[in-house]
Amino acid sequence: LPTMAGKEMHPARASHQQDRKARGGWIWEDAQYPPKRLRGSEDEERPRKLPKRKIVLLMAYSGKGYHGMQRNVGSSQFKTIEDDLVSALVQAGCIPENHGEDMRKMSFQRCARTDKGVSAAGQVVSLKVWLIDDILDKINSHLPSHIRILGLKRVTGGFNSKNKCDARTYLYMLPTFAFAHKDRDVQDETYRLSPETLRLVNRLLSCYCHKGTHSFHNFTSQKGPREPSARRYILDMYCEEPFLREGLEFAVIKVKGQSFMMHQIRKMVGLVVAIVKGYAPESVLERSWGEEKVDVPKAPGLGLVLERVHFEKYNQRFGGDGLHEPLDWAQEEGKVAAFKEQHIYPTIVSTERDERSMAQWLSTLPVHDFSATALAAARTGTKVPSPLDGSEGDGDGNTD
């Protein structure tokens, strides 16, 4: 009987396809649909196949020189962290090349969409990859030294790093002369933060955590006081003990919250700095959560770092089931600390010395009118300059 049309492949085409498969190495396959095995010697000649697995990667990077974390496919003008990451994944053999063009094919998701110039010590991304041998070493071999993959863990098939993230912790590193009284030189490198001033800073920072949820509409843009999406819950915020770097004293402010809006952290820091320096009364903090529009200064983007993301609910449900690891990264803490000391902190110190972004921003604080609303300031023609910095946002940019 004659062969039915369309059921038989031309010999030349079949040969070409076999050659292409042999050269290709891995073949992308879903784990739930294993390949059918052929009988006889043909089975041994087929290329080796690996199922794709859902994993999370712990990332650290210095954001200087990058236009944020998130990749903009088709735009080569602005380089992002994910551009370098996807390129490394392809070169390492973890994903097919076409997945780099359409990241949905590998179910890619990041915990936080850090913006221009913002660094991270504990970013987490979820995606599907081929679990090749020595996967971390191979990925890192194709990454620049200021971007590192510090850890990898298997997760459930439906895991989404953004949706499963309960909270995010950021740090903001700044020179302590930012807390010097306004009557002092705007950039006095001999300034040292006193215990009394540190206690004042921490008392003010803790106000953000009191009385539960607040409306942070004055700490972002295009949000009204009654919009539910402007209400945020800050779990913890405090300033650590100061330390010296290259003769200049710095301090680190840490803040943990469920999620943050654009510019929110920088404005939270900026308002506390204005109060400590004597430009604004303490009462402006309570007023900023009210319905009126308050003029809140925005601190420079330099110094903002995504330190850690939290998956407490996921860990409670899956961390002890014997099949999945808890996403706490305790074993990677040493590598995270080393990366901050080697790549993040030195970049912040050297950039502050070269560009003086904090000193320039501090000189704009007298222009702000903290006794009137932003609307009243606009009516009088008062112009509030933008901070001189390289970042247009912080946090994950989440305004949902």
The 3-state secondary structure of 35-84, one letter per residue: CCCCCCCHHHHCCCCEEEEEEEEEEEECCCCCCCCCCCCCCCCCCCHHHH
Helices (H), the chain: 11-24, 42-45, 81-92, 97-101, 135-140, 195-206, 264-277, 283-288, 312-318, 333-339, 345-355, 357-362, 374-379
Q: Which of 115, 295, 389, 396 is catalytic?
A: 115
The candidate with the shortest Cα–Cα distance to 61, out of 339, 309, 391, 260, is 339
* 115 catalytic residue (yes or no): yes
Binding-site annotation, residues for substrate = 170
Q: Are 91 and 142 in contact (CB under 8 A)?
A: yes
Single-letter code of the amino acid located at 281 = P
Binding-site annotation, residues = 170
Kindly state the tokens that stand for 194: 């006193």
Tokens 């959560």, residue located = 289
The gap from C-alpha 357 to its chain's centroid, in whole angstroms, comes to 21
Kindly state the tokens that stand for 383: 């112009």
Whole-number Å distance between alpha carbons of 114 and 204: 26
Whole-number Å distance between alpha carbons of 291 and 299: 23
Rounded to 5 degrees, φ, ψ at 305 are: -140, 130
Tokens 């970013």, residue located = 123
Using DSSP's 3-state secondary structure scheme, residue 271 falls into: helix
Rounded to 5 degrees, φ, ψ at 160 are: -130, 115
Cβ neighbours for 334, distance < 8 A, ≥ 6 positions apart: none
- Cite the active site residues: 115
